[in-house]
Structure 1
Amino acid sequence: MPQTRAVDLSKGFEMTSRPAPFKLTIDSAADYARQLWSCIDNLDTDSWFEEYFCVVGRCLKLRSPSRFYLDLCLENLVLEPFNESAKAEATEVIILDRRSVPSLLSARWDTEVFSTKAFVEAMEQEKLRGIYDPDHDLWQFYDHEAKRGLYILRSEGSVPPWEASFPLRNFIHWSCQETSQGLLHAGTAGVDGDGVLIVGPGGSGKSGTTLAAILSGMDSVGDDYVLASLQGESVEVRPVIAKMKQDAKGLARLGLNPDEALFEGPNWQNKYSFDFAALGRGMRAPHLKIKAALLPRISHGDKTSFTKTSGMQAMLKLSPSNLYQLTGDWQRTMQFSGSICRNLPAFHMDLGAETDEIADSLRDLIKGQLQ
């Protein structure tokens, strides 16, 4: 969970002299959000771009004076068919940057220490969700009852590098709260509609295992974030992100050439992004019924083996990235991860040396032990 850190906010981020900057404290953050919405309501928006999206069952109306962020969504999210009748129920998200809209109300912090935790909690007391990133001068606000979100950037292209591959991350996360759904940071692999979660930190073999399964013809709903639903004691996952990421060495181990046009990058993590469905092997499944959580370990053994472990161990592998990358109601995020892991058997997966053998072992586990 993000902690308080000293950040020099004494000069604020005053982008324009008109109007006078809002003097902001943690306790007045919600007032700032409301004044921003009021300011936007008075803008001439006739020339703005507008797109309707449907993502994991959520209907969104995106509006912006620039196409930049809208195109990020088109390129990187798994979009579902949009029903015209759903337009009236769509959640509106407005994406702005201060250079395109210089009259937008700016803020001057009336403090020299910024606490993400205190900011989030103050917003929640006002029945809002929000996040501020002082390094990128990035603001996001969400009002669930009013069905509206607001995303403000310093400039059109100042989207943080980790945001580009998963636009609208926080808005989708916030819309899940107080429901039986949530985002999980996990790889997935499946056969005939049944599948597994593959969880673990960087370097554990999570991405390599997922990609090996896909190259062997198994299906997946993704390797980064997926949407999970609890249906009684059953766990189902659906795709959110269109692309997965892998570094050059990982691609080479699997016989893939990062210089091919399919692969974009390297990115800020020195990884290449690509649509795994375009590989022509495994397919992107519309959903998978999850039968187990797997915790891969690079063991350099001759064969892949599975050892039963506890749901607590699975949660300890699953929760850290969720808590670090998803903002707001961390207790609920932790509880959701715990509920998922309590409903699934968990196995350590000691990886063999050969990718084909790893994929075959994974397929046998899903088709055999888990049915």
Structure 2
Amino acid sequence: MNDLAGSMSAAQSDLAIFVQQALAYGKQQFERCPPSEKVDVQVGETSFRLAESQNDLRSSVDLCLWSGAASEIETPPFSVYVDYTSWHLRSGFRAPHHHQKDLLELNKALAQIGVKAIYSPEEQRWDIFDPVAGFGVRLQCGTERSPVWEKTAPLVHFCNWIALENGKTMLHAASIGTCNSGVLLVGDGGAGKSGTTLGALIEGLQSAGDDYTLITNGPDFRAHAIHMSVKQDPSGLERLGLSAEASLNWQGKAVFRPETQIGHAISTSVPVNALVMPETGAAKARYYPIAAGQVFKTLTFSSLKQLGSDHKAVFQTCAELVRSLPCYKLELSKHNQENVSVLTDILESVT
């Protein structure tokens, strides 16, 4: 740390020291937390243990992630502590970094000591992760300062960082498959990923998630589940013949576990043999090959927009996917069985 601080500006050196203090504080508070108040969260093929200074995220974690009571037999390799006490403000630290350029410089400096961090100036919230120690801490000014998406995509940066340590890259994509073949659905929000995924589950296909997925690099690509819930707006639920009783999120979408409505849960993983870009509004469902560059651009930039970090891993994984796998456009009609039939044709063609 001293050698690193010597090569930094005074502001960057202060930040590096603060991060070290924040991690030490978080570890101390995590150890003080009773075991009954901790929860184990599965992230692909690894897991982390979560504790909070007050119980705010537990219901969201239980709904959206693969979680359960903390094990008394096996301790996960990673831990995360969420602190809502404004400790980082009361400690006298004032964040001088309010511009993207400064944040990028900060991340570059922290990378030299192997620490990952995301700072949100508007909420004065920090997510900090030390991969070597296997520990992360969130510092937040009260529960009311949580971003609106946190309730349906909790702790996404920590899930991403922990997945990377387990050899997986988190991407903004859905997955649909069978035991023998599968595809990634690629597109920005509103492209039809969630509706197509839910419709495929209704017709008996599998999915490892409708929004985020963890990718194991090739040659045998697989998509691993991170979220066990799915999202869909009321009109989409009505089109699929499903109930809209679940409470709506900030996007006006119902968030629920698919097994509660259709009897099919999210699968732990599915193969990935092709990349598919869905597009709604067609009179009749069909698919056809498209340029790999178009898929690469959409998948890469939608993932970076959602996650905001680890650009190198995202670019490398997306590049490997489009170099290795066929790419298709899937034009979706209003008829779910027709859409799933075309999707099944794709799955059979890439087996």
Give the RMSD, CA atoms, in angstroms: 2.7
SS at match of 1:233: coil
Q: Aligned partners of 1:305, 1:148: CA distance in 2, in Å?
A: 47
Identify the residue that residue 339 of structure 2 maps to in structure 1: 358
Matched, 1:130 2:117: yes
Identify the residue that residue 271 of structure 1 maps to in structure 2: 253
Amino acid at match of 1:348: K
* Residue 95 of structure 1: how far off its partner (Å): 1.0
* Residue 235 of structure 1: how far off its partner (Å): 0.7
Identify the residue that residue 287 of structure 1 maps to in structure 2: 269
Identify the residue that residue 55 of structure 2 maps to in structure 1: 67
Identify the residue that residue 338 of structure 1 maps to in structure 2: 319
Q: Name the TM-score, length of structure 2 as normaliser.
A: 0.87
Identify the residue that residue 369 of structure 1 maps to in structure 2: 349
Identify the residue that residue 176 of structure 1 maps to in structure 2: 163
Amino acid at match of 2:310: D
Q: Name the TM-score, length of structure 1 as normaliser.
A: 0.82
SS at match of 1:186: strand
CA contact (8 A) 1:218 1:283 kept: no
Amino acid at match of 2:350: L
Q: Deviations over 1:323-369 (max 9, x none)?
A: 12223331222111211222211111122342211112212321x31
* Residue 151 of structure 1: how far off its partner (Å): 0.6
CA contact (8 A) 1:296 1:349 kept: yes
Identify the residue that residue 239 of structure 1 maps to in structure 2: 225
SS at match of 1:109: coil
Amino acid at match of 1:68: D
Q: Aligned partners of 2:98, 2:282: CA distance in 1, in Å?
A: 50
Q: Aligned partners of 1:81, 1:312: CA distance in 2, in Å?
A: 44
Identify the residue that residue 91 of structure 2 maps to in structure 1: 105
Q: Aligned partners of 1:38, 1:285: CA distance in 2, in Å?
A: 37
Which stretch of the first structure deviates more once superposed, 345-354 or 187-196? 187-196
Q: Deviations over 1:261-289 (max 9, x none)?
A: xx221x21122211122222544222111
Identify the residue that residue 227 of structure 1 maps to in structure 2: 214
The structure whose residues are more often helix, as a share, is 2
Identify the residue that residue 52 of structure 1 maps to in structure 2: 40
| 50 and 363 in structure 1: CA distance in 2 versus 1, 3 angstrom threshold | same
Q: Aligned partners of 1:208, 1:123: CA distance in 2, in Å?
A: 40
Q: Aligned partners of 2:313, 2:89: CA distance in 1, in Å?
A: 37
Q: Aligned partners of 1:43, 1:186: CA distance in 2, in Å?
A: 35
Q: Aligned partners of 1:201, 1:41: CA distance in 2, in Å?
A: 37
Identify the residue that residue 349 of structure 1 maps to in structure 2: 330
Instruction: Give the share of equivalent positions with the same residue, in percent.
Output: 25
Matched, 1:78 2:66: yes
Identify the residue that residue 33 of structure 1 maps to in structure 2: 19
List alignment gaps of at least 5 residues for structure 1: 1-23
Which stretch of the first structure deviates more once superposed, 175-184 or 217-226? 175-184
Q: Aligned partners of 1:112, 1:192: CA distance in 2, in Å?
A: 48
SS at match of 1:75: helix
SS at match of 1:352: coil
The structure whose residues are more often strand, as a share, is 1
CA contact (8 A) 2:167 2:216 kept: yes
Q: Deviations over 1:274-320 (max 9, x none)?
A: 11222225442221111211111234223x22111233222112111
| 118 and 102 in structure 1: CA distance in 2 versus 1, 3 angstrom threshold | closer
| 203 and 327 in structure 1: CA distance in 2 versus 1, 3 angstrom threshold | closer
Identify the residue that residue 3 of structure 2 maps to in structure 1: none
Q: Aligned partners of 1:156, 1:65: CA distance in 2, in Å?
A: 10
SS at match of 2:346: helix
Matched, 1:90 2:73: no
CA contact (8 A) 2:53 2:85 kept: no
CA contact (8 A) 2:119 2:125 kept: yes
CA contact (8 A) 1:54 1:60 kept: yes
Q: Which runs of 4+ in 1 moved over 6 A?
A: 80-83
| 26 and 248 in structure 1: CA distance in 2 versus 1, 3 angstrom threshold | farther
Matched, 1:298 2:280: yes
Which stretch of the first structure deviates more once superposed, 41-50 or 27-36? 41-50
